[in-house]
Amino acid sequence: MNAVRAFSRFYTNLIGLLREGLLRSPYSLTEARVIFELAQRGSMDLADLRRLLDIDAGYLSRILARFETDRLATRERSKVDGRRQVIRLTRPGRAAFKMLDTRSTEQIRTLLSRLSDEDQRRLVAAMKIVQEIIERSPRPEPYVLRPPGPGDLGWVVHRHGVLYAEEYGWDETFEALVARIVADYVDHRDPQRENAWIAEVDGEPVGCVFCVKKEEKTAQLRILLVEPRARGMGIGSRLVEECMRFARRAGYEQMMLWTNDVLDDARRIYERAGFKLVEEERHRSFGRDLVGQNWWRAL
């Protein structure tokens, strides 16, 4: 509770909500929101505007009365339903919106200019997490696949170590294995025949896969991973598809992969992609008794 209140005080002070006017303007936060919404929509039914802003009808009526006095907005009867009122900004009202919008952009630009690119990505991601948790909304964001950039290979190793420890209880020897795979990829990669992809949502890495040479005609799919928060978006299947597409273009005739039977989600992705289980072997690895599996498919 105290942490939430402290953050609220910090945030409202940061963006100036407790100052006399929002963004050094004569308008309160609520008045500015009314101007913003009307500017975005051109005109709005009074009842719809009140529901959108979720404010008291009397309070909204007083705001609009002031706007009419200042010639910022007009109210007129709806041509469709005479019982309803339609609100529109006037030319001075649109000028007020432009002023607020410009100052808001300047304020955000000033705030972000003090942050590195990485901190900016972290800030945006944290904001979205707060919104999603409070609104209980799903994550409909699109994702992109891109080549690894600075720091991504370290992220691959780190997230494999963390997630497999949390979800399967595997020890540090698995993280060491992933580190060797990544190091071998960097040291010995043939760009024409080997590649890697990072899946990204809102500037943050959420998945990865590597395609490496197993034999002259055989490619190997390695270290497929999707973050828990990004599962259900089709990222795993898309990474596997991209890996197979690259392998075909590179001239491979077949692809194989090694996994373990406890990785149910990954196994379903491989099955949907057309891979077939060809052999299994019990082994003791990563601090656990496991069943290793080799899967193959023709390209």
**Right CATH number for 2-114 from 3.40.630.10, 1.10.10.10, 1.20.1250.20, 3.30.390.50?**
1.10.10.10
The pair of structure tokens assigned to 48 is 């719809």
Domain residue spans of the chain: 2-114, 144-298
User: DSSP secondary structure string, 121-147?
Assistant: HHHHHHHHHHHHHHHT-------EEE-
Give 263-298 pLDDT, tens digit per residue. Answer: 988 999 999 999 999 999 999 999 999 999 999 999
Q: Is the pLDDT of residue 176 over 80?
A: yes
How long a stretch of residues is the chain?
299
Give the list of residues 6+ apart from residue 259 with CB closer than 8 angstroms, or none: 266, 267, 270, 292, 293, 295
pLDDT recorded at residue 76: 84
Of residues 254 and 140, the one with the higher pLDDT is: 254
pTM for this entry: 0.57
pLDDT recorded at residue 66: 86
pLDDT band at 18 (very low <50, low <70, confident <90, very high): very low
Find where tokens 């420890």 sit.
165
Q: Are 148 and 186 in contact (CB under 8 A)?
A: no
Instruction: State the average pLDDT over residues 222-242.
Output: 92
pLDDT recorded at residue 135: 67
Q: Is the pLDDT of residue 189 over 60?
A: yes
Across the chain, mean pLDDT equals 86
Give the list of residues 6+ apart from residue 12 with CB closer than 8 angstroms, or none: 18
Above pLDDT 70, what percent of the chain? 90
pLDDT recorded at residue 141: 57
Q: Is the pLDDT of residue 240 over 90?
A: yes
pLDDT recorded at residue 15: 61
Q: Is the pLDDT of residue 220 over 90?
A: yes
Say which range, 124-128, 163-167, 219-223, has the weakest mean pLDDT. Answer: 124-128
The pair of structure tokens assigned to 291 is 């069943």
**Right CATH number for 144-298 from 3.40.140.10, 3.40.630.30, 3.65.10.10, 3.20.20.150?**
3.40.630.30
Pairing outcome for strands 218-226 and 195-201: unpaired
Say which range, 121-125, 133-137, 166-170, 280-284, has the weakest mean pLDDT. Answer: 133-137
Say which range, 81-85, 207-211, 273-277, has the weakest mean pLDDT. Answer: 81-85
Q: Is the pLDDT of residue 20 over 50?
A: no
